Structure 1
Amino acid sequence: MKKVKFIYNPNSGDRKIPRELDKIIEVYQEYNYYVVPFRLSKDRPISDAFLDIESNYDHVLISGGDGTVDLVVNTMKELDIDIPIGILPSGTANDFAKAVNLSFDPKESIERIVKSEPKKIDIGKINDKYFINVASAGMFTDVSQKINPDFKNSIGKVSYYLKGIEEALNMREFSIRITSDELIYDGNMYLMLIFNGKTAGNINLAYKAIVDDGLLDVIVIKKILLPNMLPLLKNILKGEHLEGYNEDEILYFKTSKLRIECRDDLITDIDGEKGPDFPLEIECIKDGIQLMGY
């Protein structure tokens, strides 16, 4: 009988996973898997989930949002654990799960996982932290950090939109310097996003992104005059492509490695959680993890 380590965040999204535990175990047992669950909490370090990792686990199933997946992936990297992962999306946005077309139905998701072979995909690294979907800084990027968790869980995506409107009414520009083999930019910007996935807050921005090409997609929205900014924000919120904007307004390029410096007080965000301080050394880790069900 194969073994799967099941790590879940009971507070993700609408907190449905605790109600689905029996179904998850039932489906796995139908496929002759033995499930070893670990409940994430503030009282125990995530590393405790891997105390028995020498017990030959077939894969690790992670249930939560992008931040939960990041937490587990970072812990696995720290412990030098190279076991395939499966993702059962249960967060509020679940941007990465949507980018790779994962199922949100527990039964279908598990069946896809157990019937699949692991595929190597890229992850991003920003200083000493890894991310699966997006690292960002500037306007809108710390919205998730500013939302009360209970408020976010109670009204879900609406909480992001409400906080986003508040951010838009208080736009602020930041002075940055970007250095990569592809370009050097020294100037002001409102927003910067470095994608491994495709979406942020369910908005499809990095529509050219491919999760196994060894490259990150970088989008920088420069300082733009207000009459031009309003139509741009409208298009972003509608999820429309950013084609048609010139380099005086938007930078969109692919790279495997870049350095970003900021002359202002600016915090970073990694998949909805606080990221490291500037300067940032960012790179794409080619084939960084093995994903099942993709």
Structure 2
Amino acid sequence: MEKAILLINPNAGQGKLKGLATELVARLTAAFKEVKQINLADPQVDRTQIAELAQEFDLVIAAGGDGTVHSVVNAIAPLEERPALAIIPGGTANDFARQLNIAQDPLDAVEQIFARKTEWIDIGQANTSYFLNFWGIGLITETSQSVDTTNKQTVGKLAYYLGAVQSIGKFTPFKVSIKSEQSHIEDEVVMVIIGNGSYTGGIRAFFPENKINDGLFEVVLIKEASIQTAWSILQAKLTKTTENSKGIITFRTNTLTINTEPNQQIDCDGEAEGHTPALIKALPKHINVIVG
């Protein structure tokens, strides 16, 4: 890795990276022969431009929150020859950075990049979009939409779970049909969430045992919205031991199709990415990432 491009979103999180760009570039310049900086707050910078730029570098560094990382991954994942990826956390939850054992302090994270310790990881593909942590429909999408920017910046990752509790009782169940080699499920649910990583909203809530290099997803269906269900989420109780719990269905797979009635908005890593139906598949060891 001799050439690195720093894709920085200074508006991520609570402005954690504002004022740090010069210091980050200075430190990276001391470790790489070439360093280019791109400000992702520039409205003219889109995924197409990121993909074009990324092909010129050995390492793409996403500096920002989970939304920033999601956008960068969606830009580089379709490339035939993909550069390595590093993350400098600057958001509220920083879920995938936590998954990779990356330090939450941006300057400490840069030091981990210098070690150049890498690992090939799986990512998920849902129709034409990609995700690192999770794909979800139903209550998880309602929660993301219910957390306003001010609240998110004030109370941080807890805002996601406050949003979940506030949504209890207001969400209408929907019909879902899920087909995979392991299962064929026809049911009425309030949420479907498919996990690649372990973290959601900054804690190991849904998939505490998930691995990002085993080629499999963990799939969780929740059949009823209740305070008890929300409490299970808050307390990280949704583990493999809940397979027979009332109102919860879990299984593992690498490919599945999902149809719903009515169609549901899709949430990928906290970002809106179209509507159902969806074909979802794991892409084993698809991206080489810097790990802590």
Superposed, 1:87-98 pairs within 5 Å as: 87-98=87-98
Partner amino acid, structure 2, of 1:93: A
Q: Which residue of 2 aligns with 1:210?
A: 211
Deviates more, 1:258-267 or 1:247-256: 247-256
Separation in 1 of the partners of 2:26 and 2:49?
25
8 Å Cα contact 1:66-1:91 kept in structure 2? yes
2:134–2:197 Cα contact (<8 Å) kept: yes
Measured against aligned partners, the alpha-carbon deviations of 1:218-258 in whole angstroms (never above 9, x if no partner) come to: 1111237xxxx433321211223442451652122111101
- Structure 1: distance between partners of 2:52 and 2:129: 22
- Unmatched runs of 5 consecutive residues or more in structure 1: none
Residue equivalent to 2:129: 129
Aligned-partner SS, 1:200 = coil
SS at match of 2:190: strand
Cα deviation, residue 181, structure 1? 0.6
CA distance in 2, matches of 1:28, 1:207: 33
* 1:24 shift after superposition: 1.3
CA change 1:288–1:54 in 2 (3 A) is closer
> Per the alignment, do residues 54 and 132 of structure 1 end up closer, same or farther by CA in structure 2, a change over 3 Å counting?
closer
Q: How many pairs are equivalent?
A: 289
Q: How many Å separate the matches in 1 of 2:40 and 2:124?
A: 23
Amino acid at match of 1:236: I
C-alpha distance in 2, partners of 1:223/1:151?
26
Percent identity, please: 28
Where do 5+ consecutive residues of structure 2 fail to align? none
Residues 51 and 211 (structure 1), Cα distance of their counterparts in 2 relative to 1, 3 Å cut? closer
**8 Å CA contact 1:13, 1:90 repeated in 2:** yes
Give, in whole Å, the separation in 1 of the partners of 2:13 and 2:180: 37
TM-score scaled by length of structure 1: 0.89
Which runs of structure 2 are paired with 1:1-294 in the superposition (5 Å)?
Answer: 2-41=2-41, 42-53=43-54, 55=56, 57-204=57-204, 205-223=206-224, 229-242=226-239, 243-244=241-242, 246=244, 248-294=246-292
> Cα distance, 1:73 vs. partner?
1.3
- Deviation sequence 1:15-54 (CA, Å, 0-9, x none): 1212211321232233244321101132332333454556
Amino acid at match of 1:147: V
- Could you tell me how far apart the structure 2 residues matched to 1:244 and 1:74 are? 32
For 1:214, the aligned partner's letter is: G
Contact residue 101 and residue 291 of structure 2 kept, 8 A = no
Is the Cα contact below 8 Å between 1:142 and 1:274 reproduced in 2?
A: no
One-letter identity of the residue aligned with 1:234:
W
Structure-2 separation of matches of 1:167 and 1:232? 12
Distance in 2, Cα, partners of 1:21 & 1:54: 22
Greater shift, 172-181 or 107-116, is seen at: 107-116
- 2: CA distance, partners of 1:189 / 1:53: 40
Give 1:131 deviation, angstroms: 0.4
